[in-house]
Structure 1
């Protein structure tokens, strides 16, 4: 678990197998992997894209929520695939003979979607072979303007009554999650470099996957991040979506020099849930 301000982040990611993240305080899931039980409490589900390792568990989660008479969740997804996603769920409904209810929200650049009072989800463009978005969780609070700080409450109330602006909106980007993407996202969406926590994919870590092949699959290679070490202004940088060709020891060893070169604390997402199985392995795994 990664704690940041009033929130926390749980999750795991293994390239080509399963990626699922959860912010329990917001009842928010970002990608659902194969649809595990801890995601059932999430009333908000944000899909970065619709590859099966990120979205395959969606029908299962929706079915269980309906079985348990839970509220209809809100599903945020890239706008270009909203119709196809609904068609997929409709097909499941036909073969199992009951509804898979969700309120599908097609997201677009510039959209702002309320998670709760004072907290919004903001999508940003990412770069993958299928339509894709990342998401930033932003907290917005009203604070007194500097010129009014220290004034007594009745005086502030009188100013408000007279129509005087006494507060300003202060935005705090707590969390950005890229999902699968090319490294260009860091240049084209520089605001994510300011988030308290940035979860960034880094699928390949060494020469076992050449850079050109990594890019052809729409993924980031560690060789692309190393020259950008000085760009990260986050408090914590969380790398994720490692290929199945790497075991945990190799991941730690290969990332060590990069971790020493950046200002943020470098963390990694687990490649499997606690006590959970991992379908892939370092020996004989597909070259994802």
Structure 2
């Protein structure tokens, strides 16, 4: 978008245009993140993010004893060694999983947005509401525990609310999600572990993987970015020949509003980072595994 400063435009017209742009930003962000469900009506004295549906349920989840115990069990279990083919490792039950661990709190959840399959396939318009979708919420810990960081990942529950989907080693997801500012969106291209910031219709990289994904450029238009991801994933969608031959699961969102606790383990398949998943009520630890795009 062209800078209007120094163009000789009357100040009234310039102010009017800037006002309209602010409205576009707000409307785009609200429309984008409201597709998951109705927004939470926050009390005036205790404002909650209007762009995350059922946010109070998310807060309740990360502050619950069950989630805290899951985090403690994860932190007590040594990170497994070996390659991606290492079998899942059961995490033993303990009566007081947090006993003896340093005191920590779980921070308030942040939005984790991903590019949509339609955008990656080139069938969706290069617009914020078409390109990016809220898929999960992420919460990091207030401090390291025995030298380890962890991220709590929540998935939307069928019928409303949020549930624990995973506990992942490290805090990069929450760190990048926290870089979102008023008028911008932060999203990930999970196949390359790239993180980007979207300002109106301009995409900027936030990490080295994203910079490589943009061919070394410091920014591209959203339509240019769509051409890049289409070249990477259009022939690798679920149901494609690439998928049928078993090379990967194709490109798809990690989770949707139809996910529930019984299917939350799907959120970790092919994901990056050691993570705890809930499978039939039992906790298991998966070794880091990268999804191939070629």
Structure with a larger share of its residues in strand:
1
Does TM-score exceed 0.5, indicating one fold? no
TM-score of the two chains, using structure 2 as the length reference: 0.23
Greater relative contact order: 1 or 2 (C-alpha under 8 angstroms, separation 6 or more)? 2
